[in-house]
Structure 1
Amino acid sequence: MSKPALSIFLALTTCACAQLPNIVIIYADDLGYGDLSSYNPDAAYQTPRLDQMAAEGIRFTDAHSPSTICSPSRYGLFSGQQIYRSTGRGGGAFEGPGGPSYLKPGDLTLGGMLQEKGYQTGVFGKWHVGLTWLDKDGKRLGGGFKNSPLIDYEKSTPLIDGPNERGFHESFITPNCPTTDPLYVYIENGMVPIPADQRYNPESTPNPGGKWRWDNDAGWMAPDYQFVGVDELFYEKTKSFITTHREKTPEKPFFAVLSTQIAHAPVLPSEEFNGATEAGPRGDFVFQLDAIVGQVIDLMKELEIDEETLILFNADNGAETVHVDWMRQDHDHDASGGFRGMKRDGWEGGHRVPFIARWPGRIPAGQVSAQMTNTTDIFATLASLVGYELPDEAATDSFDMLPAMLGTQPAEKSIRPHLLTQSFRGEFQIRQGDWKYLDHQGSGGNGYKDNVLEKYVLEENEPDAPGQLYNLKTDPGETTNLYFKEAAKREELQALLKKLKESGRSAPKNRKPLGMENIPKVKEK
């Protein structure tokens, strides 16, 4: 290419990129539908910055995580697909040197798609979709805590299936739940600066209220690893990525994922947030998350890019069992927001989660949407925004929610004709309008005969039914199983579920992006 032609090409490329918005996803952990005050008027504390974010954008009231546990939901975020597309079934949460990645080589990922559109991409915080670790003989290690000391870091790094091999230019992550599941190390751009060569004793970490350190497992850790204030570290890494990028290449858009530890167990609020609310350590913890969201918004304003930045807030599943129980008992706070179930369960409390989008330049403020949506939809929505035409074999469970965000979709017309979720054991739930069919008995996740959950057991009106059918319009609490009474609807949903599983997709084919040229600016009032 001649120099004049190259100059024209670069100029055109720069112009195209400059028109695209910056994108930030804040992905919370184990945050229930009722954990934000904009979703729960009876919350035991306030979340003012997230409430502000909702007031300045759109808040979805029928949003769902792909799964009711961490790793499969994160696969859904990064791939736009349900976990069974990767595994053929469900998918567990990784512990120790667990892997390989659910994100297969050659799969189009969210970061990879945006890289193709000229974005500088980064992910910071909890990764937890699996990594390949090798021992001294070059053999892949299985998961579990006992295998951590067998890792040969020289042979294992740079990681062959870490974020930098799955669509991200920069990364600073933990392999699993940052303060729950060893291996406790930081991974920066595929490398482990300081290996895990010390035994971690949970007794060395604070235990707020005498019980909130629950699920902080002993194991192997790097000597520089921190358990209190880890989300501030993740935020600082995100901030550094954004500010450095703006200094060096301001003409290019950026895509950053801030994947928090909050509100996963253990509950370890930073010192400055202890006592910040009257709702105990977990209330303080969620308030700390709220403050971090506020820091992200304030950073966009300081950099004078607020109008050109889309911020999405979402969560990977409902609140943890003991968290739901303790918050109800101690503070009259319902993290499940009135819905049945919690983390791991196929009932609504396990997968109905907050979802907020804010983009002052393009998304009209003050919207509340009842559009049915899934975290997997973020993929097709962002593809539509940036003008990327998705191939049919990619993001096969992802629907474009951009019309809903822009306020152009009629409220009475659902973008999604159906929605899939999977519970802890990989069992399926399917929605069609107000109807929900659970292809299993019971919760699909937690056992409700233990001392913590037995108080929440509901008497089953159809104990012999092999599945469950509910009308969420008349029965949002999923209390009356209509499996036999509404047999025709149940058979219709069973047939639809079978079809969607066998077809290899639930999203439509030939998806056409909207593109920035068709997204009007919000008119000033």
Structure 2
Amino acid sequence: MKNEVNVCLPSRSAGRRVIIGALCFMAALSAFAGQGRPNIVLINADDMGVGDVSGLNPEGKIPTPHIDSMIDNGLALLNGHSSSGVCTPSRYSLLTGRYSCRASISGQVAKGNSPARVEEGRTTLASLLKKSGYRTAMIGKWHLGLDWKPLPNAKQSKKGVIALKDIDYSKPFGGGPVDRGFDSFFGIAASLDIPPYVWLIDNRVSEVPTETQPAVKGKQAPGGYMREGPKAASFEMVDALPRMGDEAVDLIKACAPEAKAGTPFFLYLALNSPHTPIVPSAEWEGKSAIGTKYADFAMQTDGVVGQVLNALREAGLEENTIVIFTADNGCAPHADYTVHLEKGHNPSYIYRGQKGDLYEGGNRVPFVIQWPAGAPKGRRSDQLISHVDFLATFAELTGQKLADNEGEDSISFLPLLKGVSDTSPRKSAIYNTISSKLAITDGDWKLIVGEGSGGWTRPGERYMKTAFGAVKDENPLPMGLFNLKDDVGEYKNLLLEYPEVKQRVFEKLKHDLERGRSTPGKPQASNINRLDYLDREKGKGKKSKAK
């Protein structure tokens, strides 16, 4: 039975007591108490480039000592990827083990009033672990849509969208974390610059929004951007990240007794930072040597990681807890990208592109895991790993076998994590982005099915030249073919030089989409629109060759 929460909570401590009370109650009821199973904490930063972690970027100017300590004490996956260059599709794949291009959302970014994006009944990391007796909790940014209830006589679109002003915030919403496998949820509906601006507890708002946040853009905005929409009177953007860190610490403390007794927990901590609005708290503002708010906010993000690691240590849970740090996609152009390049800091490190792109800078993300009791420390691996692989990895960890309609694209990397193997069985991965264009990595080769980046970086985008020299595509080709082994920066498009490679990799992509899965098993339903798109792009390629 789900915990019922009053719409109006008078204070932060009251909200926390509700969550902790539900936590202890559910944990006490757990019938499955196998000894030795590790706790799992999955921290997902928002718009943090791989170059923003000092332990992954020798030339980086943003110190991240806590994430760096995880690298020293665990495994850094240097070829780790999200499945998309933008928020919603990336988060869908992380939780479901399925490429978002197979779902109706494709590359779409959800709004605060978008309907639920994770299909009802679909297995998620939370529901999988819950079957194995884990206590499951989420704190932070959901951004996968919610099924809000409308006010009387309010209009609703054919796609189920209710205008923000027509939502009945006094009623529970559906399709959120507690309907997709989590025992409890404390967080926000979408990004911190997307309304409604209000804390959510389980399946309700913590208080009914009574104010309107005005739209703020450009230099007037705190950190770059804010959308207009409903706001709760007590909700302040600058408090969001510290609150998420505090809630995570309290949850770990609450879980500790049951975890030690044999009931492990899974915490999905989806931070709002360093995404816009870039609002470091007072104690962090001005801390960075390069003097940007983004750098301060990234440092504060690392500080929250430190809070979590310290809480685990103090609770006596550090040894047998898997802690994962990653990000949903690369750094956003809104984060004063050019300013950082001028100061010698490249958020994308040596990779081309940024958030929204199919270039590596859009989806090659920080991917660090520590597990003192189960994984050797101080390792770095260049094996290909994707966010979609969490589901199969956790299934193997807990002795579960995935059904044909679960985690269709997920491959376990548990042997690599444990150090019993130096290789990953994953040889290929599919990516999409804001434009819903697709790319595939297959061995050393990467094919972008579309012109340029497929995202926000136009061919020859000028802000990239400081980092890469003159990376200009004066005559952009209809697709991009790159050999990542020789050219990880994606400088040279080899499309015309290796037509047979392009055809082989293209057919691999089409085959995996047609089957509705990229792993062995029974074929599953696929998004037919993606196949239509591939045929159109293939036709463009033929026309270009004929010229």
TM-score (normalised: structure 2): 0.84
SS in 2 for 1:213: coil
183 and 144 in structure 1: CA distance in 2 versus 1, 3 angstrom threshold:
farther
Q: Distance in 1 between matches of 2:68 and 2:127?
A: 31
Q: Distance in 1 between matches of 2:340 and 2:204?
A: 42
Q: Distance in 1 between matches of 2:160 and 2:260?
A: 43
| 1:277 matched residue in structure 2 | 288
168 and 43 in structure 1: CA distance in 2 versus 1, 3 angstrom threshold:
same
Matched, 1:235 2:245: yes
Shift of 1:447: 5.2
Shift of 1:449: 8.3
| 2:63 matched residue in structure 1 | 46
286 and 436 in structure 1: CA distance in 2 versus 1, 3 angstrom threshold:
same
Shift of 1:189: 0.8
- Alignment map for 1:407-486 (pairs within 5 Å): 407-411=419-423, 414-446=424-456, 448=458, 453=463, 458-460=471-473, 463=476, 465-486=477-498
| 1:395 matched residue in structure 2 | 407
461 and 24 in structure 1: CA distance in 2 versus 1, 3 angstrom threshold:
same
Matched, 1:123 2:138: yes
- Alignment map for 1:41-440 (pairs within 5 Å): 41-87=58-104, 90-99=106-115, 101-137=116-152, 141=156, 147-154=163-170, 157-178=171-192, 180-201=193-214, 213-247=223-257, 250-251=260-261, 252-279=263-290, 280-323=292-335, 325-411=337-423, 414-440=424-450
Q: CA RMSD in A?
A: 2.6
**Partner deviation per Cα, 1:6-58 (whole Å, 9 max, x = no partner):** xxxx9996552x32111000000001111101110111121111100111000
Q: Distance in 1 between matches of 2:436 and 2:71?
A: 32
Q: Distance in 1 between matches of 2:144 and 2:221?
A: 29
Shift of 1:451: 9.0
248 and 38 in structure 1: CA distance in 2 versus 1, 3 angstrom threshold:
closer
190 and 173 in structure 1: CA distance in 2 versus 1, 3 angstrom threshold:
same
Contact 1:460/1:481, CA 8 A, preserved across alignment: no
333 and 406 in structure 1: CA distance in 2 versus 1, 3 angstrom threshold:
same
371 and 81 in structure 1: CA distance in 2 versus 1, 3 angstrom threshold:
same
**Partner deviation per Cα, 1:111-167 (whole Å, 9 max, x = no partner):** 00000000010000000011112322376746999921211124xx32221111100
**Partner deviation per Cα, 1:37-94 (whole Å, 9 max, x = no partner):** 111011112111110011100001101111110011110111111112221x623112
462 and 486 in structure 1: CA distance in 2 versus 1, 3 angstrom threshold:
farther
368 and 327 in structure 1: CA distance in 2 versus 1, 3 angstrom threshold:
farther
Q: Distance in 2 between matches of 1:141 and 1:222?
A: 23
SS in 2 for 1:403: helix
2:199 partner letter: Y
Q: Distance in 1 between matches of 2:97 and 2:404?
A: 12
Q: Distance in 2 between matches of 1:211 and 1:184?
A: 16
Shift of 1:434: 1.1
SS in 2 for 1:314: strand
**Partner deviation per Cα, 1:143-201 (whole Å, 9 max, x = no partner):** 999921211124xx3222111110000101211102x1111111101011212220114
SS in 2 for 1:195: coil
Taking only the aligned residue pairs, the percentage that are identical comes to: 31
200 and 244 in structure 1: CA distance in 2 versus 1, 3 angstrom threshold:
same
416 and 220 in structure 1: CA distance in 2 versus 1, 3 angstrom threshold:
same
SS in 2 for 1:278: coil
Shift of 1:455: 5.8
Shift of 1:341: 0.6
198 and 168 in structure 1: CA distance in 2 versus 1, 3 angstrom threshold:
same
Shift of 1:454: 8.2
| 1:517 matched residue in structure 2 | none
SS in 2 for 1:379: helix
2:294 partner letter: R
SS in 2 for 1:307: coil
60 and 233 in structure 1: CA distance in 2 versus 1, 3 angstrom threshold:
same
2:315 partner letter: L
SS in 1 for 2:204: coil
232 and 145 in structure 1: CA distance in 2 versus 1, 3 angstrom threshold:
farther
| Of 33, 39, 44, the match for 1:27 | 44
Shift of 1:241: 2.1
SS in 2 for 1:34: helix
Q: Distance in 2 between matches of 1:372 and 1:27?
A: 19
1:168 partner letter: F
Q: Distance in 1 between matches of 2:215 and 2:460?
A: 25
Q: Distance in 1 between matches of 2:388 and 2:309?
A: 24
13 and 82 in structure 1: CA distance in 2 versus 1, 3 angstrom threshold:
same
210 and 455 in structure 1: CA distance in 2 versus 1, 3 angstrom threshold:
farther
Q: Distance in 1 between matches of 2:42 and 2:155?
A: 32
2:235 partner letter: Y
TM-score (normalised: structure 1): 0.88
Shift of 1:324: 5.7
Contact 2:375/2:417, CA 8 A, preserved across alignment: yes
Contact 2:169/2:209, CA 8 A, preserved across alignment: no
Q: Distance in 2 between matches of 1:12 and 1:44?
A: 46
324 and 496 in structure 1: CA distance in 2 versus 1, 3 angstrom threshold:
farther
**Partner deviation per Cα, 1:339-379 (whole Å, 9 max, x = no partner):** 11100011111111010000001110000011101111111
Gaps of 5+ in 2: 1-27, 523-547
Which piece of structure 1 moves more, 363-372 or 213-222? Answer: 213-222
